[in-house]
Every structure is written in structure tokens, then in C-alpha cells.
Structure 1
């Protein structure tokens, strides 16, 4: 059995609660989360020690111990990407396959530093939104997409990635500029890929399903909603990554996703004005 170590800001959160059972199931018991580290206890939540007792996982005192004793590593902290660079330093120097949870980084510069660090130490690494692997999205033909209109729930700050990631996977890792067109209650962003290729993301409330409307350059239109269990489909990809050591998502796409999020937040300060994206 291969041993997986969690590294987190605090262990009392949804992904940490669900990943252990999902990974064990998807791997047929060949992989198991055995060790965990949390930098601090969650405020008004379950302590790291109590969380580990509840989940039958050994709490270790340092990141060094988790890295040394694990075969594979998962850096969590999904809602605090500003902590990823600190939490990932030792994992990315270890040479051991490492997954860093969404949202990968708080900005483009940090994302590039993390990939550079992993490459310098020969550490296989990737990050993604689980929505990338929704079967309804994976079955789409990316050739000839002219326009995408994306809908989804949640706040822009931590849920925009779930709309932007599928768009980048379908339209490419070279967006040119963004324009904020939303409101405080319904954030929206226009993404320009050049050559009259554009995508929009719209946050339409907690009851809004993740949905894509797609127009091809042939004039045809399709609409798909992510009804599949994209979390478990993602976990299957994660298990394959650990088995093979081959990243499932290209670094250029992840950097593009983070760039759109970062500059989308900047664009929100000046609505209806194009903001150019860096390309180097």
C-alpha cells in the first residue's frame, strides 16, 4: 500500500474530509491517506488532533515528517491559496508526486515560482479544479469553439476557478485580456482569446448549476450542464497521476487559469475596461 500525506492550513475542511475515502476507493485500497499535518487548528472548528482521531490518520508535528514518511503528497488549503507557497516548499523539493489543491496560487508570479521549484527538483506536480473532469465537459470537441458562456455558483474569489478551468482547457492557455462586466451580487468576466474568440463567466447564485453554452465557428450551438460526479472523476485522475508520476494538467494551463483569476479581480476595480494579460 502506498502512503499519502496531507499538508494543510487546518484539517477541518470539506476536501480533507472527503479525499481519504474517495482515494482509497478509487485505488482499490492500493493508496491510503496515512499521515497529516495542519499548521493550526481551525477557528471555531475541530482541532487537527480530533480530526485525525476521527479519520484514523496519524497527525505529525512537521511538514518534514509528512514528506519523509509519505510516498505521495497532497497540499490542501483549498480556500487559502496564499498559504500554498509556504506549505509546498518541502513537498516540491522532495521529488515525490505532489498534488496542490485548487485554487493553486494567489497570483501568476507565485504560480510560476511553484512550477519552477518543482521542475528544479524533479518533482511531478499538478493542480486543477475538479470541474475540468466533468464527463459532460470532457466529451466536448474543442475544435472550432468560437464562444463559451459559462454559468455557475459561488463567489468569484474561490469559485471562479471552476468556470475558468474548463474554459482554458477548451479554448487554450493563451487568453489575451479580460473585462469585468458583473455586479456585486452577480460577478461576471469577459475573457478575450483573440481572433474573435471569447468566453464569459457568470456567477448566478448558489442554486445555479455549472453550465456551458458553446457556439462553434460552424454556427452550431450546444449546452451542457455538469451533472456527473466530477469529484470522483477527478480523484480517479489523481490516482493515475500518483501511479504514473505524469502530471494530468499542463503547467501552462494552470498558470493561465491563475492569471485570469488574478487579473479578473483587478478588472473588477475598473468595470467595462479591458485589462491586458501578461504573456511572459
Structure 2
């Protein structure tokens, strides 16, 4: 078990309210007065989530987008965000990028906190949304017989990171400024049996969905659309940061948006994931883990 998985397992003992969903979902869901509030929090660390010297306007955009992607996976409509900001160089560029992404998605800044510290610098953001469908989609709802779908290709963020790191002229926008699929999430919410966003790698996140649902997800990698060259398919399946939506539907149902069927859910059979019919090796991390 990774250090990240170990601490999450320990924290589950403290998260004993139904709103926490057993810390096995993208966000918490709080039922209040006939509404369901959806809350999520992500943090980003210099040198881990962005390159040292990267434009902080892009960092601000990605911080907000990653949180909004979690709301998208719940079919939620954003209400606002709270920012945890560490002071440092180029603060004005961060504020510029923050304004751009909040304007793009019509999301208000509600408050937050500023601190001094680092290096490295760390930023955190909490996003609050309103569920547009009840029950709110969950990672725990996939059932044997369901089909497994992905909204779009993976691998673009990997190529964008490499372009930015290497200073080439290739397009790096997918890594710098991902776009959360909010409208797609709202369209899918009434239909899916389970849904999550793909942030740490398709294979790793598929295993998380399977573990939460108690099923085996069988993935046909040839059916997965990728934005990378064919000889880099294995990397693209594990790299992450593409923020596509991964979801299951009852058999014979079709999604109301463009999406790709990449596999199916089966009764649990010893491994929560099958890749082209084979369980992954125990030492295969499948994606990004801290």
C-alpha cells in the first residue's frame, strides 16, 4: 500500500458521516433543506503539480479547473470557491489567471486565507457546488453487467507537460489549462450508475471506481482514445491530468454526449481491474500516486 493510500485509510476512521461517502468519492455531499451541496478540495505543490518557473496564471487556472472537474463528476453546478494562497513571487500573475478561469466558468470567489511559507509553494482551493440531480452520482454504484465509458482521449496532458518542460513549440494547453467537463457531467448525472473524473491516470482511477463499487472493471485498451503516439499508449493510460469523465451505464443504455465505450463491469473475481483480460502486476502503480 502506498503512503497516500495508507493515510487515506487511516482518515476513513474519522470520516464517519454519510456526507463523506467513506472518502471513496470525488467530493462530499451534504443534504440541506431539500438541496444537496457538493464540496471538494484540491491542493497543488510547486515541483509536483507545476514546473518551477511556470506562469502562475496557468497554475491558478489549473487549480480551479481540477476542483471544478470534481464537481463535474457529481453533475454539480458551481456555487463558488475558497482559496488558500501562499504569498511569493509573481502573485499578480496568479490573480490574473484566477480571474480568467473564474470568469470563464462564471464562478465567484467567496473567500479563503493567505499565508507565507515555502519554498516550495503550495496552493489549495475548496469548490462548492449544487447537485443538479438526485441521487448525486457516486463511485460506488457500478454493477456487474454495466458498460464502462470515457468522455474523451487521454495523453494530451502528458504531451503538454513534455512540451512545456522541454521548451518546444508543441501545444501545452492541455497540461497548463485543462477544461472541466461541467455540462457533460450534468447531462450524464441522471443516467450513470457510477462516475468520477480521471486525474491520476485512467487505469488507476478505474481501479478506484471498481474498488468503491466492489466489481471488476475489464478494460480493452485498444478502445481507449488517446492523444499520444501509438507506441506511448501504455504511458497515456497511466499519466493523468486529462480530466475526462469515467462512468458506467446499465447495459444497452447510451450516453447523451459523445463518449467511448472502453470496457465493462463484471462480478468481482480476485482483481478489481483487468487490462485486456489480465490482472495488472502487483508492482504496477497504474498511475500517479504521491
Question: Which TM-score tier does this pair reach, normalised by the shorter chain?
Answer: under 0.3
Using structure 1 for the length normalisation, give the TM-score. Answer: 0.25
More helix by share: 1
Higher relative contact order (CA 8 A, sep 6+): 2
Using structure 2 for the length normalisation, give the TM-score. Answer: 0.24
